[in-house]
Amino acid sequence: MELLTLDCLGQPLRLEASTAGWQALFWNNQRVSELQADGPHYQHQFQLQTEEKVIHCRIEVELLWQPFTLNYRLFIDDILQTQGTRTTQDIERQQPSPGAAPKPKPPFNWVGIGILGFKLLKSAKVIKAVLAGASLAAYSWLFSIQFALALLGCLVIHEYGHIRAMRYFGMPTKGIYLIPFVGGLAVGGDRVNTRWQTVVIAMMGPCFGLLLSLVCLLAYWISAEPFFAGLAAFNALLNLFNLLPILPLDGGHVLKSISFSMNSTLGILACAAAAALGVFISYSFGLALLGFLLLIGSLEILFEWRSRHQNMLLPLDRYGQLFSTIWYLLTVGGLVGIISYFAGTGDAILGLPLKVLQS
């Protein structure tokens, strides 16, 4: 990942590194130094040949990954030129430099092809209207026009949570697409530099959905209108499925960001134990489908853990890992609680979301 870009003799001097210890220095997009660091302190040295003389350049770096802090000093002919400090906030806001190493492409999958296709059409507003109309027609055929409109509102609010998070990090957004029988898609820029950005963007959709279910629950308590109860329960089910640890769902991105930020074997064993506990609890409460999907998604992420250093994203620090885990579990717990509450009312329709999880 790109950690630092400075001006050196009129050309960009770029430092790239990975959490595995590899570091490389580029001057004018040409590699001038490379090393495998075994500690927080290291330095890169290189020489530049001009017509008059040879210029000796050196950059001294102190790098801590958790919490991320980068202190640097640039010397030219042993004269200090510039120095400074970079933190996680600087990495989140940086734009990739021309010539920087591209981020690895995700493996081929049909979901990615579908997303790419929609991105290609993102500038055509008529496509959004057509997809929204198709979604309304599809859900009206399955349910009723009133419930279809409410369901589309739930999808829009969920995706708007993603949009708000993208805008918070200064990312460009292209809008929301409603896809019949699939759900929604918030299309934004690809400039994600840290695991924390991934967690926040992924979690804000289900959090907005949880907030909507709580509002509908309050409206049901006040009015006793069954429509609000049904909307609260089914919206909770929709957002709970989005939190399953299966890519490309929101929960998959969150759990992957947490586990891929763990450098020690102890950390990944703790993550595996937590996943096993989640499966056990799911089956203990009779949530067979939830437990099965949790098991499959967790195994998928664990199998990919060895390749975590190949991804050019700044990992979560220990506080970020703990906070993200608690945030995820509280959101899941809130959604399951709403579903269980309405299932306990004895109404057959309101009990459907829980029956889905138990199937």
Out of 152, 172, 191, a domain closes at 191
Same domain (yes/no): 230, 173? no
Out of 164, 191, 218, a domain closes at 191
Within-domain flag for 324: yes
pLDDT tens track, the chain, 359 positions: 788 888 888 888 888 887 767 788 898 888 988 888 777 888 898 888 877 788 899 999 888 877 788 899 999 999 999 999 998 888 877 776 655 555 444 454 545 555 555 554 444 465 656 666 666 676 666 666 777 788 788 888 998 999 999 888 888 887 777 766 566 667 776 677 888 999 999 999 999 999 999 999 999 999 988 888 888 888 898 898 888 777 778 888 888 888 778 766 666 676 667 667 767 776 766 766 667 767 776 676 666 666 655 566 788 888 888 899 899 999 999 998 998 888 888 777 677 766 666 66
Same domain (yes/no): 51, 145? no
Within-domain flag for 103: no
Give me the pLDDT at residue 301, please: 65
Q: Which residue has the tokens 């929204």?
A: 132
Q: In the chain, which residue ranges form alpha helices assigned H by DSSP?
A: 88-93, 110-120, 125-142, 145-168, 195-223, 226-242, 250-260, 265-284, 288-304, 318-343, 352-358
Out of 191, 221, 249, a domain closes at 191
Same domain (yes/no): 277, 250? yes
Rounded Cα distance between 153 and 334, Å, is 20
Residue 70 contacts residue 86 (beta carbons within 8 Å) = yes
Within-domain flag for 99: no
Rounded Cα distance between 97 and 241, Å, is 37
Same domain (yes/no): 148, 68? no
Sheet containing strand 22-27, edge to edge, reads 2-8, 11-17, 22-27, 30-36
Same domain (yes/no): 183, 203? no
Crossing angle of helices 288-304 and 265-284, in 10° steps, is 170
Residue 265 contacts residue 216 (beta carbons within 8 Å) = no
Same domain (yes/no): 187, 206? no
Same domain (yes/no): 223, 294? yes
Give me the pLDDT at residue 311, please: 61
Residue 125: both structure tokens together: 């507003």
Within-domain flag for 234: yes
Give me the pLDDT at residue 211, please: 95
Within-domain flag for 88: yes
Give me the pLDDT at residue 266, please: 61
Same domain (yes/no): 119, 87? no
Burial of residue 220 (number of CB atoms within 10 Å: 0-12, 13-18, 19+): buried
| Number of domains the chain contains | 3
Give me the pLDDT at residue 35, please: 84
Same domain (yes/no): 185, 222? no
Same domain (yes/no): 64, 115? no
CATH number of the domain within which 15 lies: 2.40.128
Same domain (yes/no): 337, 318? yes
Same domain (yes/no): 214, 327? yes
Within-domain flag for 125: yes
Within-domain flag for 100: no
Within-domain flag for 102: no
Q: What is the extent of the structural domain holding 89?
A: 2-93
